[in-house]
């Protein structure tokens, strides 16, 4: 039986603890009394994945079994989550491949021959053929991709979008035309964290800018407390309205999968263990990795990390009606990730690792680092934030102004033009969002190259808006001061300096919490 | 109304006379005009002034009188215009002296070439011919006119000991020297066109500028020839002067000019005033007044900046300096005391006889001044002041020669080094050092003669004149050079005055917070359709070159071992290709494009679309893309010009209104022949294509921008009105700095892998 997550209070026996910082990590000695939140140990994986899949498809929740929904001559569309989850990418075979193969087998048995597969990448970059192949597997790829039946969703292809209608609050629901006009839409999800899945899958993953702008905006996102709790997230409320409205027009068969916390393969296994329990072998691995990282040139380091494939195991699979499925999914996610914490702190410390949802096979630029820290990690709570209102957040990341010009062309301009003028999400939205969202060059790159949509950096900034609104001070340790200043934050060289700087906000003797992730965790703050 | 005060005697004697001044726009002329206008109100001033371009002589005088020192006198006269009307402006110059007003009583000839090293013909023309022609016009007015000739104390040349106020003792045949001097321009121009010289200049120019094209090289060679002519004329003048015992062409021609004056003096009243080194005013118009930089300032400023390590002077030699107000006061006193016709009088306005200033003392005082009031150099605190040990001229010369040699060696290395940001940085530092060396070479060469002169100028006549003055006049027209307290004058008056503009400039520069390199003004909007922006591709828009892009394309068609073999083969060819590139860019391109022989053009297009788009886009410099888009947003036409083959430009098509790239020639089956469909668009052919394209599309090149990175793109940049050098190579960097073109650093994203096989990971 794996141990649940827990909160360690740093005392004089506590060894230095791992803190991730981009393509590397450091061992940090925290002040005595610091609360360190460890995620639960990884849950055992389901022993028979095929059986679990089959069970879920044949005995779905609040729905007829999948074979009963399939008939010859129907239009079947299978949509699936793109490469932004799971993180790191899953070691082959990806769970989506196994689910899609099962669905396709049933469809073939039922004589369905009009099948298309759409990656639900919304305004994310188009995946390359190799990236799609990694998700769906060689067999599916070979059968569908060359024929043009397996492709990325194109949110700017006006010909292939359907405006389904408006929600009761007047929000446009516009999604992929093929999906909207299918007799059955099967959605294959990986519910890595609690904010994924549910009505976030179809109404967001297959939507256009016209539809997304109703919930992806500064106002809504400041009011989402938090993204990891769909019942208290305005963003999710909007998505739920859209999803309910869609389900009146379209039969959706939602398949959600949950993974355990096997994030790091060997020799990086020590990163998932508690430092005082490191074996000789773990310590040797740690020293070897640190030595390697210290001498490796930037490019090699980049590869060392980005070539990692996580040996995730499946902890659950549920299929059927979206909301009923998602209910069970969230329970499974919480079982693996939820940690109970008593009370807030003055200071929250987080280490930003090398990878976020939008820099798979790419570079984590300053905007993505901000989104990762203040958008995702900060919001990884239920109840109330880990840090009190008016507190301080200390983040670890180099924050180099390095951009991947292929994947993030609009980010470069956002950083140089927009952030140079204002870092206030509301101002930025008001003044620049339209221009970036409709810029023909960004649209061209989104559609034909592998670029995130022009508006995407704005969304990253809005993700962080709640945190920026909530805390009074954001300090980055070990970061490039110039880029951090551009982001509107401050830089410190050590934790001690950062705490000294924060003392003007939280006093000289603040309570401190450190989120020891990855692996993924959600705090349940009472 | 109280009685008018009794006029001092000088003013009385000059009252009602009319005096013509030449060279009134110069330092001495201006001071003289000021003194006459303020202290001798009843004299009528006429000026001989040259119209400058579109500005008439009268307008120039009005500009002159608008200067602050004339403010008071202009106000009491009732405005600058009224004051200007009081002055009789005679338009003309010394090359063609016009008839002078018939009512003149005196002429002061201040005009002349003040450069120490003029081209020999110009020296003769201004100092000898100009004087002769002016005297002819003076003679027309009448033998009663008092002619005051402003010469220089250094007409004594390389003589030693005491120089007396009398004609310089020499037996040079003025007419022979004059006709030789005037003939030199024609002669040197002829010699500069000799085949040997032209061949040498052209070979050198082609070595440096060949990549930009033969016409650029030819233009550079012609420029070199012109500067050779100038240098040669200077050299001839200096050599002739020294062969006859003068320091340089200036003092030589001045001395010959005095001979002309002496022969005229046989029948007319003539005074010759010989000031020594004229520096800022001691009292009038105000202490420290100076216009422009005179003789000592460049040295003082360079010393204050810590850039003058040593000086070839003898510490005990005398530096003969006089404040400008002493000089002009003496001139006015001379004006008021004309000699008898046939008995010309010489006046030395100099300090060495009675109040000598040793070089050692000058150095110590100036050093003391900068110790107290240092220059702040480049935000690094006070400049370090070199300690001069006066090791003698030869040691200084050796130091200079060694530095110059080291510089030449470093320069050779940097121009042949592979291109990198570091190389450019070294080039920048080398260029600064070169400017300093050139400065040292020029000034040390010029001043060494003066700094070693062991001359004392006897000023008995001047002193006698001063003592004859009415006591009141001695205050108003003070020119007793013995009163100057050098420590006070140098440290409190002169140095503050000459360093002030430099300090203001430094201050302004600090306040401006110099934008870091890479700053560029926003693209001006408007002018829709009339304006274009031309972008070079390789090296400017993205970091790549034609060999690399050849390999990108070619490797897609090959597998495993063949790839390695292909890379190896290209590597072996590299040295040859690099040599070809240095020689001529189009030859280089042709050599590379031969390698495409046998490829299907359609395949190349397909590979470009499928595999290379991502690679090219990820190598794009973000600033470059932004700049292109800014131009578009401003309504400009955007044009990509590249020597790369067309398939490689496909990813960039949406950014540009027009793409001009190399087209590979294909046979009937669509197979590349290895030749180009047309000559590659490099160097000058880019400029001519641009002119043609601009004419066809109604684009105004003068308002258009160009962006390029290499010397071979020079014609592209020169063709537009707003050129920008992007990460330039050393040659282009130098050209850009010289012409004050903006220089930018557009970097390709740093994390971009530089793998030669972008598609490798996809297979």
pLDDT of residue B753 exceeding 60, the answer is no
Q: Which of B364-368, B447-451, B701-705 has the lowest mean pLDDT?
A: B447-451
> Using the 8-state DSSP alphabet, how is residue B285 labeled?
S
Of B95, B176, B154, B162, nearest to B130 by C-alpha is: B95
Three-class SS of A52-63 = HHHHHHHCCECC
pLDDT of residue B331 exceeding 80, the answer is yes
Cα distance between residue B34 and residue B11, in whole Å: 14
Residue A1: per-residue pLDDT: 58
Residue B359: per-residue pLDDT: 86
Cα distance between residue A38 and residue A377, in whole Å: 13
Of A381, A379, A81, nearest to A257 by C-alpha is: A81
The token pair at A383 is 């109840």
What does the pLDDT look like over A25-42, one tens digit per residue?
999 999 999 999 999 999
Give contacts of B614 with chain A, Cβ < 8 Å. 128, 406, 449-450
Distances (CA, A) of A168 to A180, A201, A231, A288, B728: 19, 20, 18, 58, 60
pLDDT of residue B557 exceeding 70, the answer is no
pLDDT of residue B582 exceeding 70, the answer is no
Residue B224: per-residue pLDDT: 92
Residue B690: per-residue pLDDT: 92
Domain boundaries, chain B: 1-172+244-276+320-353+458-483, 189-240, 290-317+357-452+484-514, 532-762
Query: What's the gap in Å between the CA of B614 and the closest CA on chain A?
Result: 6
Residue B517: per-residue pLDDT: 45
pLDDT of residue B694 exceeding 50, the answer is yes
Nearest CA in chain B to A406: B618
Q: Which of A69-83, A363-377, B290-304 has the lowest mean pLDDT?
A: B290-304
CA B40, B42, B43: angle at the middle one, nearest 5? Answer: 75
Residue B616: per-residue pLDDT: 80
> Average pLDDT of chain A?
94
Instruction: Dump the DSSP string for A57-92.
Output: HHS-BSS--HHHH--TT-EEEEEEE-TTSSSSPBPS
pLDDT band for B642, please (50, 70, 90 cuts).
confident
Looking at chain A, the whole-number percentage of residues with pLDDT higher than 70 is 100
Of B386, B262, B324, nearest to B26 by C-alpha is: B324
| More confident site: B79 or A376 | A376
Residue B525: per-residue pLDDT: 61
Fold exhibited by the domain B1-172+244-276+320-353+458-483: Rossmann fold (3.40.50)
Residue B433: per-residue pLDDT: 81
pLDDT of residue B479 exceeding 70, the answer is yes
Average pLDDT over residues B35-55: 90
Residue B4: per-residue pLDDT: 43
Of A471, A268, A456, nearest to A358 by C-alpha is: A456
Looking at chain B, the whole-number percentage of residues with pLDDT higher than 90 is 35
**Cβ distance A224 to A235 under 8 Å?**
yes
What does the pLDDT look like over A478-520, one tens digit per residue?
999 999 999 999 999 999 999 999 999 999 999 999 999 889 9
Average pLDDT over residues B143-154: 93
pLDDT of residue A69 exceeding 50, the answer is yes
Residue B376: per-residue pLDDT: 78
pLDDT of residue B581 exceeding 70, the answer is no
pLDDT of residue B452 exceeding 80, the answer is no
Q: Which of A347-361, A392-406, B524-538, B644-658 has the lowest mean pLDDT?
A: B524-538
Residues A259, A260, A266, A269: what is their CA dihedral angle, to the nearest 10 degrees? 150
pLDDT band for A328, please (50, 70, 90 cuts).
very high
CA B467, B471, B475: angle at the middle one, nearest 5? Answer: 95
pLDDT band for B423, please (50, 70, 90 cuts).
confident
| More confident site: B698 or B615 | B698
Residue B759: per-residue pLDDT: 38
Average pLDDT over residues B478-498: 91
Going by C-beta distance under 8 Å and a sequence separation of 6 or more, which residues neighbour residue B675?
A: B590, B593, B594, B664, B665
Architecture field, domain B532-762: 3-Layer(aba) Sandwich (3.40)
Average pLDDT over residues B736-748: 84
pLDDT band for B2, please (50, 70, 90 cuts).
very low
Most distant CA atoms of chain A, gap in Å: 71
**Cβ distance A384 to A426 under 8 Å?**
no
| More confident site: B577 or A71 | A71
**Cβ distance A201 to A233 under 8 Å?**
no
Give contacts of B620 with chain A, Cβ < 8 Å. 405
The reply to whether B532-762 shares the fold of B1-172+244-276+320-353+458-483 is yes
Give contacts of A129 with chain B, Cβ < 8 Å. 762
Average pLDDT over residues B391-401: 77
A 238-297 near B (Cβ less than 8 A): none
CA B310, B311, B314: angle at the middle one, nearest 5? Answer: 125
Q: Domains along chain A?
A: 6-41+282-308+337-525 (3.90.226.30), 49-259 (3.40.50.11440)
Residue B556: per-residue pLDDT: 64
Q: Is there a contact between A406 and B617 if contact means CB atoms under 8 Å apart?
A: yes
pLDDT of residue B1 exceeding 60, the answer is no
pLDDT of residue B752 exceeding 50, the answer is no
B626 vs A129, A413, A450: nearest CB: A413
Cα distance between residue A2 and residue B75, in whole Å: 99
pLDDT band for B547, please (50, 70, 90 cuts).
low
| More confident site: A242 or B118 | A242
Going by C-beta distance under 8 Å and a sequence separation of 6 or more, which residues neighbour residue A296?
A: A304
Residue B378: per-residue pLDDT: 66
What does the pLDDT look like over A156-198, one tens digit per residue?
999 999 999 999 999 999 999 999 999 999 999 999 999 999 9
Q: Is there a contact between B614 and A406 if contact means CB atoms under 8 Å apart?
A: yes
Residue B418: per-residue pLDDT: 67
Total residues found in chain B within this entry: 763
B622 vs A412, A440, A448: nearest CB: A412
A450 at the B interface (CB within 8 A)?
Answer: yes
**Cβ distance A452 to A411 under 8 Å?**
yes
Average pLDDT over residues B485-514: 83
Sheet holding A114-120, edge to edge: A150-152, A114-120, A75-81, A184-190, A252-259, A314-320
**Cβ distance A379 to A467 under 8 Å?**
yes
What does the pLDDT look like over A428-467, one tens digit per residue?
999 999 999 999 999 999 999 999 999 999 999 999 999 9
Average pLDDT over residues A53-59: 97
| More confident site: B589 or A238 | A238
Residue A63: per-residue pLDDT: 96
Q: How many CB pairs under 8 A join A and B?
A: 56
Residue B757: per-residue pLDDT: 40
What does the pLDDT look like over A197-224, one tens digit per residue?
999 999 999 999 999 999 999 999 999 9
Q: Is there a contact between A449 and B613 if contact means CB atoms under 8 Å apart?
A: yes
Looking at chain B, the whole-number percentage of residues with pLDDT higher than 70 is 87
In sequence order, what are the beta bridge partners of A515?
A37, A350
Give contacts of B753 with chain A, Cβ < 8 Å. 299
Of B117, B150, B28, nearest to B447 by C-alpha is: B117
Average pLDDT over residues B23-31: 91
Residue B327: per-residue pLDDT: 95
Query: What's the gap in Å between the CA of B543 and the closest CA on chain A?
Result: 13
> Average pLDDT of chain B?
84
Give contacts of B748 with chain A, Cβ < 8 Å. 405
Average pLDDT over residues A403-427: 93
Give contacts of B762 with chain A, Cβ < 8 Å. 128-130
Indicate which of B618, B628, B629 best probes the interface with A, i.e. most A CBs within 10 Å of its own CB: B618
Indicate which of B617, B747, B762 best probes the interface with A, i.e. most A CBs within 10 Å of its own CB: B617
E-strand stretches of B566-689: 637-645, 658-662, 664-666, 672-676
């Amino acid at each position: 039986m794996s141990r649940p997550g827990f909160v360690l209070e740093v005392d004089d026996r506590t060894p230095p603890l791992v803190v991730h910082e981009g393509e590397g990590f450091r061992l940090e000695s925290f002040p005595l009394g610091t609360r360190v939140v460890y995620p639960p140990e990884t849950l055992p994986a389901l022993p028979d994945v095929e059986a679990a899949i089959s069970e879920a498809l044949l005995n779905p929740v609040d729905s007829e079994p999948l074979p009963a929904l399939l008939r010859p001559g129907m239009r079947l569309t299978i949509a699936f989550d793109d490469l932004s989850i799971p993180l790191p990418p899953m070691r082959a075979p990806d769970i989506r491949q196994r689910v899609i193969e099962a669905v396709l087998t049933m469809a073939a048995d039922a004589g369905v021959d009009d099948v298309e597969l759409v990656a639900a990448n919304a305004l994310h970059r188009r995946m390359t053929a190799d990236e799609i192949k990694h998700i769906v597997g060689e067999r599916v790829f070979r059968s569908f991709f060359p024929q043009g039946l397996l492709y990325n969703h194109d949110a700017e292809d006006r010909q292939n979008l359907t405006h389904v209608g408006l929600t009761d609050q007047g929000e446009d629901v516009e999604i992929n035309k093929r999906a909207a006009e299918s007799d059955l839409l099967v959605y294959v999800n990986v519910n890595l964290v609690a904010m994924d899945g549910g009505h976030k899958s179809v109404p967001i993953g297959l939507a256009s800018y016209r539809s997304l702008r109703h919930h992806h905006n500064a106002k809504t996102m400041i009011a989402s407390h938090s993204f990891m709790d769909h019942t208290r997230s305005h963003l999710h409320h909007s998505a739920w309205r859209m999803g309910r409205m869609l389900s009146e027009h379209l039969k959706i068969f939602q398949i959600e999968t949950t993974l355990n916390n096997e994030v790091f393969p060997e020799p990086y296994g020590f990163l998932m263990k508690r430092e005082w329990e490191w074996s000789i072998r773990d310590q040797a691995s740690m020293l070897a990795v640190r030595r390697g990282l210290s001498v490796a040139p930037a490019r090699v380091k980049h590869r060392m990390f980005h070539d990692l494939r996580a040996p995730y195991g499946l902890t659950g699979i549920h299929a059927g009606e979206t909301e009923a499925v998602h209910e069970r999914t969230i329970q499974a996610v919480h079982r693996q990730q939820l940690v109970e914490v008593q009370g807030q702190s003055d200071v929250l410390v987080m280490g930003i690792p090398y990878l976020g949802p939008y820099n798979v096979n790419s570079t984590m630029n300053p905007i993505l680092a901000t989104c990762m820290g203040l958008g995702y990690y900060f919001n990884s709570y239920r109840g109330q934030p880990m840090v009190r209102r008016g507190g301080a957040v200390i983040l670890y990341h180099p924050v180099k102004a390095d951009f991947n010009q292929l994947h993030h062309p609009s980010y470069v301009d956002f950083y140089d033009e927009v952030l140079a003028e204002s870092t206030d999400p509301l101002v930025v939205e008001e003044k620049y969002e339209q221009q970036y969202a409709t810029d023909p060059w960004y649209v061209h790159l989104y559609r034909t190259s592998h670029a995130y949509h022009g508006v995407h950096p704005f969304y990253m900034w809005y993700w962080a808006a709640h945190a920026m609104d909530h805390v009074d001070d954001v300090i980055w340790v070990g970061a490039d001061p110039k880029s951090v200043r551009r982001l509107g934050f401050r830089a410190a060289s050590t934790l001690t300096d950062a705490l000294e700087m924060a003392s003007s906000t939280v006093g000289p003797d603040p309570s401190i919490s450190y989120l020891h992730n990855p692996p993924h965790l959600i705090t349940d703050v009472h | 109304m109280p009685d008018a005060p009794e006029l001092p005697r000088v003013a009385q004697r000059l009252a009602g006379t009319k005096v013509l001044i030449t060279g009134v726009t110069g330092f001495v002329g201006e001071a003289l005009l000021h003194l006459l206008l303020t202290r001798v109100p009843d004299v009528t001033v006429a000026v001989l002034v040259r119209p400058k371009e579109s500005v008439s002589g009268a307008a120039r005088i009005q500009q002159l009188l608008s200067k602050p020192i004339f403010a008071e006198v202009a106000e009491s006269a009732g405005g600058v215009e009224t004051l200007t009307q009081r002055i009789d402006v005679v338009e003309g110059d010394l090359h063609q002296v016009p008839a002078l007003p018939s009512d003149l009583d005196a002429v002061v000839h201040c005009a002349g070439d003040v450069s120490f090293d003029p081209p020999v013909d110009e020296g003769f023309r201004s100092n000898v011919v100009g004087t002769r022609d002016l005297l002819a016009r003076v003679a027309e007015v009448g033998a009663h006119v008092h002619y005051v000739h402003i010469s220089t104390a250094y007409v004594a040349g390389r003589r030693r000991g005491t120089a007396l106020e009398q004609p310089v003792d020499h037996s040079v045949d003025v007419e022979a020297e004059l006709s030789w001097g005037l003939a030199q321009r024609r002669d040197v121009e002829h010699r500069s066109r000799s085949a040997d010289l032209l061949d040498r200049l052209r070979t050198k120019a082609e070595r440096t500028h060949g990549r930009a094209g033969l016409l650029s090289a030819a233009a550079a060679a012609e420029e070199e020839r012109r500067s050779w002519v100038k240098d040669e004329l200077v050299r001839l003048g200096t050599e002739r002067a020294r062969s006859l015992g003068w320091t340089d062409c200036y003092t030589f021609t001045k001395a010959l000019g005095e001979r002309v004056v002496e022969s005229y003096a046989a029948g007319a009243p003539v005074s010759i005033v010989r000031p020594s080194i004229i520096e800022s005013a001691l009292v009038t118009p105000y202490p420290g007044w100076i216009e422009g930089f005179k003789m000592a300032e460049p040295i003082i400023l360079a010393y204050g900046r810590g850039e003058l390590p040593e000086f070839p002077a003898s510490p005990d030699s005398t530096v003969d300096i006089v404040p400008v107000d002493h000089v002009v006061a003496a001139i006015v006193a001379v004006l008021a005391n004309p000699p008898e016709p046939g008995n010309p009088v010489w006046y030395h306005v100099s300090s060495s006889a009675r109040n000598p200033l040793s070089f050692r003392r000058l150095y110590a005082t100036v050093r003391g001044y900068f110790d107290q009031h240092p220059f702040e150099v480049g935000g690094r605190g006070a400049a370090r002041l070199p300690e001069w040990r006066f090791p003698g001229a030869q040691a200084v010369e050796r130091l200079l020669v060694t530095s110059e040699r080291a510089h030449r060696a470093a320069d050779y290395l940097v121009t042949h080094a592979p291109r990198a940001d570091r190389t450019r940085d070294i080039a920048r530092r080398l260029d600064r050092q070169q400017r300093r060396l050139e400065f040292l070479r020029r000034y040390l060469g010029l001043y060494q003669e003066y700094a070693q002169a062991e001359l004392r100028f006897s000023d008995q006549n001047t002193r006698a004149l001063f003592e004859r003055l009415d006591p009141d006049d001695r205050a108003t027209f003070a020119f007793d050079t013995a009163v100057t307290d050098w420590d006070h004058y140098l440290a409190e008056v002169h140095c503050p005055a000459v360093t002030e503009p430099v300090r203001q400039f430094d201050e302004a520069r600090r306040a401006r917070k110099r934008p870091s390199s890479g700053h560029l003004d926003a693209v001006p909007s408007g002018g829709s359709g009339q304006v274009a922006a031309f972008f070079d591709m390789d090296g400017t828009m993205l970091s790549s070159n034609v060999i690399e892009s050849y390999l990108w394309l070619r490797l897609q068609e090959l597998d495993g071992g063949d790839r390695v073999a292909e890379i190896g083969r290209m590597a072996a060819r590299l040295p040859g290709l690099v040599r070809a590139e240095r020689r001529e860019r189009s030859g280089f391109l042709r050599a590379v494009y031969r390698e495409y022989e046998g490829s299907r053009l359609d395949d190349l297009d397909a590979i470009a679309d499928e595999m290379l788009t991502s690679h090219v886009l990820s190598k794009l410099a973000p600033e470059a893309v932004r700049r292109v888009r800014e131009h578009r947003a401003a309504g400009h036409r955007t044009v990509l010009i590249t020597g790369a083959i067309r398939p490689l430009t496909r990813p960039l098509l949406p950014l540009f209104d027009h793409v001009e790239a190399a087209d590979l020639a294909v046979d009937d089956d669509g197979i590349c022949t290895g030749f180009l469909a047309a000559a590659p668009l490099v160097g000058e052919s880019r400029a001519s294509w641009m002119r043609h394209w601009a004419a066809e599309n109604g684009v105004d090149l003068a308002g258009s921008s160009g962006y390029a990175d290499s010397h071979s793109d020079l014609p592209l940049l020169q063709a537009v009105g707003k050129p920008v050098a992007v990460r330039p190579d050393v040659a282009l960097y130098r050209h850009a700095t010289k012409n004050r073109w903006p220089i930018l650093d557009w970097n390709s994203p740093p994390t971009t892998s530089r793998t030669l096989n972008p598609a490798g990971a996809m297979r």
